[in-house]
Amino acid sequence: MFRIDVDNISGKTESLYVYGEKSILTELEDHNVLINHSCRQGHCGSCILKLLSGEVLHQDTLIPLSKGEILACSSAPITDIKISLRD
């Protein structure tokens, strides 16, 4: 089981506990933490998050990402992670 710390959601940090079998986007939705998204396939870039700490398994996508950015729809945690919304 992994912990996902979500920073800047309603001005606080929320901790979620997940098995890491689903995408971060799906895990967030399962815990009623809603973020922007559209395609769920890594094509649109609307679910970009900042990975502040930890490691994720990230599938190849068409969207160019800056260092420390991940797509919630195409990533799953492989350690405890801390994420935040992109500025």
Cross-strand bridge partners of residue 48: 71
Is a pLDDT exceeding 80 seen at residue 69?
A: yes
Is a pLDDT exceeding 70 seen at residue 9?
A: no
Q: What is the CATH number of the domain that holds 77?
A: 3.10.20.30
Structure confidence at residue 86 as a pLDDT band (50, 70, 90): confident
* Total of domains in the chain: 1
pLDDT at 37 (0 to 100): 93
d(CA 45, CA 40): 9
pTM reported for the whole predicted model = 0.91
Is a pLDDT exceeding 90 seen at residue 62?
A: no
What range defines the domain where residue 36 resides?
2-85
pLDDT at 10 (0 to 100): 65
Structure confidence at residue 76 as a pLDDT band (50, 70, 90): very high
d(CA 17, CA 40): 22
Q: How many CA atoms lie within 13 A of 85 on its CB side?
A: 15
